Amino acid sequence: MLQVSKIAEHKEEYIKALKKRNFDASDIFEQVLTLDETRRSTQASLDDILASSNKMSKEIGLLFKNGEHEKANILKEKTSRLKEESKELSEKLTATVADLQNLLYTIPNIPHESVPAGKSEEDNEEVYKEGDIPVLAEGSMPHWELAKKYDIIDFELGNKITGAGFPVYKGKGARLQRALITWFLDKATEAGYTEYQLPLMVNEASGFGTGQLPDKEGQMYHVTEDDLYLIPTAEVPVTNMFRDNLMNEKDFPVLCTGYTPCFRREAGSYGAHVRGLNRLHQFDKVEIVRLETPENSYAALDNMVEHVKGLLKELKLPYRILRLCGGDLGFTSALTFDFEVFSTAQDRWLEISSVSNFENFQANRLKLRYKNKENKKELAHTLNGSALALPRVLAGILENYQTEEGIKIPEVLVPYCGFDIID
């Protein structure tokens, strides 16, 4: 969430920057500033009335003590009127603050200066590519056919139990899935991240804290009776561990990792491009999250990008990195790099990670602050990345490592799997 003081100070600059997102902020900024002026003037009037009322209350006590009942009663009538005025002003202030907050929730983050303008994923900028795309033998299959051939993932059984988008992993498929999770976590902890086991449901405050609410409310599974939400990513519970915290500069950086299942409704997703593991309602993911001071957050982003690059290099999967354009940038992000692995059997790129810097956008929602060296309170910067999301990584392994003898296992995973081929 943007700070009102920053909107007032950088209004024209922010309007220009948000045009990269194809978002016209002119009118909404005027509404924000008008509501903030109303809030401040109402607060000032309320403070004056409360101060006058308190002063009169003390005078009334002294008058009664001195036997001046008539004067005391006159003042009591005045304080009664002031109480009515203060009640009206309090109600106006509450309504104004709520209107201002709700308006701020509709404004996306300011994109970093390096974000290219653009309307869709077609305008994203490729910044890096590595790995050789393997040449597969004739008759090579996409992963959903390989899963059936080797009986390692059962999509129909998942559909029977729950519905489409909830696959069942079996035998070596389940073991490969578990191996990936453990390896990703081990690599994260080796890099200095502290591992957490996290709740899979969060409350509404947590959803608002990281920006899933109200922006992505329709994409989250909602347990209505308890007003809880199934998490779309471990980013939500991890980052919300620090909600309402006041930290010290010496506490930074904070590095967290966690494995969770993730749940997404993916409403409106259909077609051949979402077959098999390409898009699921439930999937596994290892997440990395960082809290940083503002001056260090972009160096931290580079470090996270290098971490994900290292994972894909060790898996020996061909991949590329995209800098997302304004039109494809997530609501809360200032800068995002997407990683895509090449699916040889499908002849297309599949997104397998997003690494993002939110600057202080989430921290302002979370009220996550720290005391700097001058002992002044500042908002922290938050970052997160998938390291990695499993379905499309698994799809890439199955398709790119298929041979006539079976599906070979990447060398780094063999000790975790206990086998070197699925046959």
The percent of residues above 70 in pLDDT, for the chain, comes to 98
- Region 44-56: mean pLDDT is 89
Mean pLDDT confidence for 338-365: 96
Which is more confident, 258 or 53?
258
pLDDT tens, position by position, 389-405: 999 999 999 999 999 99
- Range(s) for CATH 3.30.930.10 in the chain? 121-422
User: Does 351 appear as a known binding residue?
Assistant: yes
CATH 1.10.287 domain position(s) in the chain: 4-104
Q: Where does the pLDDT of residue 269 fall: very low under 50, low under 70, confident under 90, or very high at 90 and above?
A: low
| Mean pLDDT over the full length of the chain | 94
409 has binding-site annotation:
no
Average pLDDT estimate for 302-310: 98
Q: Give the pLDDT score at 54.
A: 82
Residue 273: what pLDDT? 61
Indicate if the pLDDT at residue 299 is higher than 80.
Answer: yes
How sure is the predictor about 52, in pLDDT bands with cuts at 50, 70 and 90?
A: confident
53 assigned ligand-binding residue: no
Query: In percent, how much of the chain has pLDDT > 90?
Result: 85
Please say whether the structural domain 4-104 has been given the CATH code 1.10.287.
yes
The pLDDT confidence band at residue 59, using thresholds 50, 70 and 90, is confident
375 in a labelled binding site? no
- 81 annotated as ligand-binding: no
Q: Any binding-site annotation on 225?
A: no
Give pLDDT, residue 78: 83
Flag whether the pTM goes above 0.85.
Answer: yes
Mean pLDDT, rounded, for 301-328: 98
SS3 labels along the chain? CCCHHHHHHCHHHHHHHHHHHCCCCHHHHHHHHHHHHHHHHHHHHHHHHHHHHHHHHHHHHHHHHCCCHHHHHHHHHHHHHHHHHHHHHHHHHHHHHHHHHHHHCCCCCCCCCCCCCCCCHHHCEEEEEECCCCCCCCCCCCHHHHHHHCCCEEHHHHHHHCCCCCCEECHHHHHHHHHHHHHHHHHHHHCCCEEECCCCEEEHHHHHHHCCCCCCHHHCCEECCCCEEECCCCHHHHHHCCCCCEEEHHHCCEEEEEEEEEECCCCCCCCHHHCCCCCCCEEEEEEEEEEECHHHHHHHHHHHHHHHHHHHHHHCCCEEEEECCCCCCCCCCCEEEEEEEEECCCCEEEEEEEEEECCCHHHHHHCCEEECCCCCEEECEEEEEEEEEHHHHHHHHHHHCECCCCEECCHHHHHHHCCCEEC
Ligand-binding annotation for 233, yes or no, is: yes
What is 121-422's CATH number, 3.40.50.2300, 3.90.226.10, 3.30.930.10, 3.30.360.10? Answer: 3.30.930.10
> For residue 109, what pLDDT band results from cuts at 50, 70 and 90?
very high
Q: What is the mean pLDDT of residues 311-322?
A: 98
pLDDT band at 63 (very low <50, low <70, confident <90, very high): confident
Q: What average pLDDT does the segment 235-255 reach?
A: 97
- Is the pLDDT at 145 greater than 80? The verdict is yes
Q: What is the pLDDT of residue 57?
A: 80
Is 152 known to sit in a ligand binding site? no
38 is in an annotated binding site: no
* Residue 204 among known ligand-binding residues: no
